[in-house]
Every structure is written in C-alpha cells, then in structure tokens.
Amino acid sequence: MNQAMFPASFMWGTATAAYQVEGNNRYSDFWAEEHAEGSPYRDKSGAAIDHYHLYREDIQLMAGLGLNTYRFSIEWARIEPERGQFSREATEHYRDMLQACHEHGLTPLVTLHHFSSPQWLMKLGGWASVEVVACFAAYTEWVMRELGDLIPYVMTFNEVNLPIMLREVFSTIGVIPPVGIDAAAWSAPAWRESAARLCGTTVERYFTFHMISDERSIDLLKQTHRRARAIIRQLRPETKVGFSMALSDVQYIPGGEAIAEQKWAAYFRTYADLAEGDDYFGLQNYTRQVYGSDGLVAPEEDAELTQMKYEFYPEALEKVIRRVADELKLPIIITEHGVATEDDTRRVEYIRRGLQGVQSCLADGIDVRGYMYWSAFDNFEWNSGYAMTFGMIGVDRSTQERTVKASGHYLGQIARSHNMRTPESAR
C-alpha cells in the first residue's frame, strides 16, 4: 500500500449521540438530571440542534463532504418510553434515518446505548439491577427485528470503561464528570435525589450507566452485552457487532511505571474479555495521561490544552491503536477521535496528526477499518452544556443553521481521495 494512501474500503465518518443532538429526550434519565433541583448541568439541552427533525438535511450535508459512514445512536427511551411499550412512531423515525443514510451512500454504524437510559429503568434499580439484562435484550430484539435489515454495523455500548475512568481520573484532576457525578468523593450529591424522584424512584435505586464501576455492575454489563450480541447474531448474522472503550494513551515518567500499568489494566484489561467473539473493537481516544510516583502528572505549564482542560495530544491515537492491537486480535474501528476548541485550525491539525498515526499503523499491517471524528456538530456536551465545541459543523442554535468548518472540508477531502492532504487544502 502506498504510504500516503488509505484502503479504498476505509470507513470515513463522524459520530453523534442521540441525546446530544436530537433534543427533547424527555423520557431519558439525563433529562431528569438536567432538570433536577441543584443540577450541575450548565445548560438545559432543550431542542439541542434539532437533529431529530433535521436529520435528512444533516445526513445529506455529511455525504456532500465526501464521508461514507455515519455513526449515530438510537435512543432507547424513545423506542421504549415505558417498559414493554415500544413506540412505532420512534421506530419509523429511526428507520427513515437509516434509509436516508443508505440513500446518500453513508454506511450506518448504530450505537444501541450511548450513555442515556429510559427513566423507567431507574425504578428497577438501573444498571445495578439483574433485570437490566432482560430489559436491554428486549430492546435489542425490537430494534434488530424492526430495523436490522438496514443496520450493517451495530455497537451495543459506548465507552463501557468510562465509569471507572470517571471515578479514578476525573476525581483526581478535579473535573466534574460529564454526568455531574461528585468528582471529589464519588458520592450521591443532593441533586441526584431530585433526579431520582423525577424518574419515579429513590436515590437508593437510582443507578445510571455512569455508575457501573464495581465488580457486580460490571459483570451485569458484560452479561448484557453478550446477551444482546447473541440476539443480534440470531436475527441478523450478517451484522457486525462490537462495543467501544474510551482509552487515553497511558504514559509514565520514572517512578510511575507501576501506577501506569495498574491504570491500563483497570481501563482496558478489565473489559478486554468482553470483546471475545465480537466482530470489531471500537476505539475512542482524545489525549494522554502521564503518571509519576505520586500519581497523575499535570501537563507542562506551556502545554496546549483543549476546552476540556486536558492536553492537546493527537499522537495518542497511534500509541493506543498499537497497544490495543498487541493485546486484542480484532479489527479496529476508531469510533471517536476529536478535540474541543474554538480554533478550527487546531482541529485540522489534530485530525492531520491523528491520521498520520493511523497511516503508520496501517503501513505496519495493523487492521484499522475506519475513522469517525467526534463530533459531527457542535452540540450538547452533557454537564458542560453548549460551551464545548467539538464539531466539524457549527450550529447557530437560534436558527439551527449549519456551517461546515474547514476541518469538515479537510476530512471530506481525505475521505474522497483516500489520501492525506495538507491543512492548506481544507477550503
């Protein structure tokens, strides 16, 4: 393969999460958290960027850039707003989304669960309840029976390991996790009692996806993925199945070797067995973490930081790909890689340097199948509201007008040519 070229079959795309772009997901546990008394969420999601109604225009816009894949999620709370009551209207909505992708030459990569869950699940004990296995299985079966003919790739869960990372990393650096969990103590702040009441339950039973970090709940999550995978294989054996992990490049300075090894084991190896029998592995990377003898080392004073306050370090992607490929013998799809910045020239640079690393991995024979930039749009970024701008496409929320940034044109040109381009070519 030419050093500068990507395979003709390479998947080029962007990603979104239903809750962050659709708007008015009133039956979701996140909606309860947003509207809880004392909620730490900076903004209310409201109509978000109204992707629920503007999806056809948005899909056409992505395809027009030259992309060939769109990773998006189906909102469980829309499909099943009450347990056992499946919405035909929502199902047909997602069918039309899938059809729009196929009409415009975009391969759909569908995530069944991207952080948000139905409020009714909290009444059962949420992700700590043994009932979650059967509940998610029923939802998966409905989606695959009704829509599976249009779904060539499916991801059961987004970032199964994020709860452990939130617990161990975000608390250390003092950043409030994306769902507003008490970063300092990993406890249940008073506002979560209000969120539980809005879900019709008590805080003792309120256990969201982002709390899955103990042995028992992790085991339940693994059971849930395997049960869902079996259903998908039974109903649609041609559909490729996987899940994703959020993986920083774990590095160390002298004295930090043991801590770094422990962190990688916690973040990756805890869940690696879950991939056995899957068709691909979804790899998601944004930055690096450096450890010393006293734990996490802060970035150098002159280091470039993103809006999220972590280090701008696109080289992390190559390093994580190589480490995963050494330990897990599955095709890799990069299902998220992105940067929050107001300076789009830095987004172009982030993509360029990240893709240089992908190209190096491909040249060495590592089986990387695709690259999904996070995210397609500037959207609702959980507890940070609309302050973080990850998107290749800007959105004026007063009018919902979309504006493609230079970074979107840049990635589109690479996708069309399967060839690396200089940033100057992004026009």
Q: Which residues are catalytic?
A: 159
* CA distances for 33 relative to 134, 178, 180, 247, 256, angstroms: 25, 11, 8, 26, 37
Question: Which of the 8 DSSP states describes residue 378?
Answer: -
- Would you call 396 exposed, middle or buried from its count of C-beta atoms within 10 A (0-12, 13-18, 19+)? exposed
Other beta carbons less than 10 A from residue 278's beta carbon = 20
Other beta carbons less than 10 A from residue 393's beta carbon = 21
Angle at CA 341, nearest 5°, toward 337 and 343? 120
- Closest by CA position to 112, among listed 270, 232, 273, 268: 232
The pair of three-digit structure tokens given for residue 17, joined into one six-digit string: 């999460």
Distance CA 383, CA 310 (A): 16
Cα 73 from chain centre: 9
